[in-house]
Amino acid sequence: MTLILPIILPLLFMVVLMFTRRSLLFQQFFGIFASVLLLLFSIWLLTDILKNGIMVMQTGSWVAPFGITLVADLLSSIMLVTTSFVGMIVMIYSPGFIDKERQTAGYYPLVFGLLMGVNGAFITGDIFNLYVWYEVMLTSSFVLIALGGSAEQLRGSIKYVTINFVASIFFVAAIGILYGKAGTLNMADLAAKMQTWEANTPINSALMLFFVAFSIKSALVPFFFWLPASYHTPPIAITALFAGTLTKVGVYTMFRFYSLFVVFDEQFWKIFILTLAGLTMLIGVLMAASQFDIRKILSFHIISQVGYMIMGLGIFTVAGVAGAIFFTVHNMLSKTNTFLAAGLVYQKSGGYDLKYLGGLYKASPVLAVLFFIPALSLAGIPPLPGFFGKFFLIKGGFEASEYIITAIAIITGLFTLFSMVKIWNEAYWKKVPEGVSVSGKVHPSTLIATAILAGSVVLMGIFAGPVIDVCLQAAEQIVDPHMYISAVLGR
Amino acid sequence: MLFLLAILVGILYGAAVYMLLRRNIFKLILGLIFLGHATNLLIFVAGGLTSGQPSFLRGLTGETAGMADPLPQALILTAIVIGLGVTAFALTLVYRFYKVTKTVDFDQLSENE
């Protein structure tokens, strides 16, 4: 029964916040309280699953495959914990950054709507139900990205809504075709059925449609153009939330689907995915290097780093997948952290354009450190967690004899360092340009939120050993899906 | 019947893509609506057409053999509702965009202003 709580809790919070929309102070405090509660619950869930194995719940007592199954294995619960942590940080950050009009116009309930969709997507065991959670998550994000309604935001959100609608259409079409072939949509049941099919059963059309849908959502090459065109338009707290959660749901789903449904033509999928991963890494990081808006640089980096996660998927050994999971968690924290640090820069000097920034290190060393930590972590400097993530991915790549993709991963790391140094030099190191003031006031709540997040990034680097152990166990469950299947079907 | 529906799905997809590529932003919404309908019909066709039979789960033998499968209809119903919501949101979004910028031309979406 407890497994439904990651969905029900945000729903309850959303309803409460919706009815109390006009009282700003209550919204702010309840938002923080509720997100802390959600985090504590998901940590409890993770420890329980670590101890007792995969947790399954059949909703309405309809036995699988007839009802909707909720399943949480280690990967799901790791993602749940990270998402609720990012949600909590954004909740602490928002009161000091988002303007009052937006805060009272439904910002807080929408964030919980988004978290409900994300959590649902992580724990559902039914493909059509997954589509529904995707829509819950996307609808909240549609409203969040357009909230406020400035011309720039409207421009960004039209692109965002259109491309995500098209991706959803791909998703639903794939579900329809798959159901026509298999007659079931329960993931575990479907995977068990597929293993009894003879080779060359025509399933790749549906899988390819799924792949296109998820690669649009997680911004893989060649479907990434919507992300940098829309992510920089809303207030940066919203962008940080999107960067920390949305694309990673696409990545998570790809892991789940690859683990369960790629039973034929494994060689084709491996080469296909690794090629796209390499291109994503390189193109994302190269396009980032030519930008001058901090938010755009960071947006292009999201794309580049999704490439790393997908690289782990392409390798698909326990080491590679564990590295990818570790990297995903680290990325959700560090990426959100860099966006929040950019928000601090905005408060201090009123802009995001590197040409009109400077002197921030001198003006406020604390701000500089709060950017420095996640930036170095993203670039992969030890002892920060980005290093360990990349290390395990590259080690996995070498062990699987995938030398080309490994070389690309190393080169991409260097370019990442380059653009982080670029932000550092321009915004923090160089002299203040004429006519620019660096005396803006930084709201304490934003400072506290960013500091907690930066601290957690450092802690994740220091305690990388235990975290990697959990990731390795999660990777074993992904690489060998039999545990998942038998847990759901009860045999 | 199957053949006709398959052609209809194709035509709807074609019209949808054509509309999506137009410069007028209201036609974009029409494109999205077509795309949704085409996909709903696709699920309907792919789920298998059984006419004139009561509905039951497919694949079971004995008394229920040959009965129509109700699940694709249930899926389509959900997809229609979700599509309706998203379309309504997209319409208000586009209308707001028109009110703010006084244009319905896609080229105004570019950021170089």
Q: Is residue B63 packed enough to be buried (19+ CB in 10 Å), middle (13-18) or exposed (0-12)? A: exposed
Residue from B19, B76, B82, B111 whose CB has the most chain A CBs within 10 Å, to mutate: B82
Residue B6, pLDDT > 80, answer yes
Which residues in chain A touch residue B71, judged by CB atoms under 8 angstroms apart? 179, 185
Average pLDDT over residues A395-402: 91
Q: Is residue A268 packed enough to be buried (19+ CB in 10 Å), middle (13-18) or exposed (0-12)? A: exposed
Residue from A147, A162, A163 whose CB has the most chain B CBs within 10 Å, to mutate: A162
Smallest CA-to-CA distance from A484 within A261, A285, A298, A292 is with A261
Closest CB to A183: pick one of B43, B58, B96.
B58
| A139 with B89: Cβ contact below 8 A | yes
Smallest CA-to-CA distance from A96 within A399, A427, A343 is with A343
Which residues in chain A touch residue B82, judged by CB atoms under 8 angstroms apart? 132, 135, 168
pLDDT tens, A78-135? 999 999 999 999 999 999 999 998 999 999 999 999 999 999 999 999 999 999 999 9
pLDDT tens, B18-52? 999 998 888 999 999 999 999 999 999 988 777 77
How many other C-beta atoms lie within 10 A of the C-beta of residue A97? 24
Average pLDDT over residues A319-332: 95
The structure tokens 């509905």 sit at: B55
| Separation of alpha carbons A258 and A262, rounded Å | 5
Closest CB to A139: pick one of B46, B86, B109.
B86
Average pLDDT over residues A462-476: 94
Lowest average pLDDT, out of A138-147, A357-366, B35-44, B51-60, goes to B51-60
| Separation of alpha carbons A113 and A100, rounded Å | 20
A169/chain B closest Cα distance in angstroms:
7
Closest CB to B75: pick one of A143, A157, A175.
A175
Residue A10: which pLDDT band, with cuts at 50, 70 and 90? Answer: very high
Residue A64, pLDDT > 50, answer yes
Average pLDDT over residues A132-151: 92
pTM of the shown model:
0.94
Alpha carbons within 13 A on the beta-carbon side of A448:
11
Question: Please, which residues bridge with residue A56 across strands?
Answer: A71
Domain ranges of chain B: 7-104
Q: Between A and B, how many CB-CB pairs are < 8 A?
A: 93
- pLDDT the model gives residue A173: 94
**Domain spanning B7-104 has what CATH number?**
1.10.287.3510
Token pair belonging to A390: 């990349």
How is A330-351 classified by DSSP, letter by letter? HHHHHHHHHHHHHHHHHHHHS-
- pLDDT the model gives residue B59: 52
| A154 with B72: Cβ contact below 8 A | no
Q: Does B104 touch chain A (CB under 8 A)?
A: no
Choose between A97 and B113: higher pLDDT: A97
Torsion angles phi and psi, residue B53, rounded to 5: -125, 145
Q: Which residues of A391-417 are buried (b: 16+ CB within 10 A; e: fewer)?
A: bbbbebbeebebeebbebbeebbebbb
| Separation of alpha carbons B23 and B48, rounded Å | 37
In chain B, whose CA is at the least distance from the CA of A164? B86
Which residues in chain B touch residue A172, judged by CB atoms under 8 angstroms apart? 39, 43, 75, 79
Residue B60, pLDDT > 60, answer no
| Separation of alpha carbons A30 and A109, rounded Å | 11
Alpha helices by DSSP H, A183-223: 187-196, 204-217
| B75 with A179: Cβ contact below 8 A | yes
Rounded to 5 degrees, what angle do the CA atoms A38, A137, A147 make?
100
| Separation of alpha carbons A76 and A248, rounded Å | 12
- pLDDT the model gives residue B113: 41
Residues of A with CB under 8 A from a CB of B: 128, 132, 135, 139, 142-143, 146, 149-152, 154-155, 157-159, 161-162, 165-166, 168-169, 172-173, 175-177, 179-180, 183, 185, 229
pLDDT tens, A239-270? 999 999 999 999 999 999 999 998 888 899 99
| Separation of alpha carbons A19 and A133, rounded Å | 23
Residue A363: which pLDDT band, with cuts at 50, 70 and 90? Answer: confident
pLDDT tens, A450-464? 999 999 999 999 999
Strand, helix or coil at A148?
A: coil
Which residues in chain A touch residue B89, judged by CB atoms under 8 angstroms apart? 139, 142-143, 161
Kindly state the helix (H) or strand (E) to which residue A72 belongs, with its residue range.
strand A69-72
Closest CB to B46: pick one of A142, A162, A176.
A176
Residue A200, pLDDT > 60, answer yes
Residue B80: which pLDDT band, with cuts at 50, 70 and 90? Answer: very high
Please state, rounded to an integer, the average pLDDT across all residues of chain A.
92
- pLDDT the model gives residue A438: 81
Average pLDDT over residues A322-339: 95
Residue B56: which pLDDT band, with cuts at 50, 70 and 90? Answer: low
Lowest average pLDDT, out of A124-128, A274-278, A333-337, B108-112, goes to B108-112
| Separation of alpha carbons A270 and A311, rounded Å | 10
ipTM: 0.91
- pLDDT the model gives residue B40: 94
Residues whose CB falls within 8 Å of the CB of residue A112, separated by 6 or more in sequence, listed in order? A10, A11, A13, A14, A17, A34
| Separation of alpha carbons A86 and A145, rounded Å | 18
Token pair belonging to A132: 């529904």
Q: Does B48 touch chain A (CB under 8 A)?
A: yes
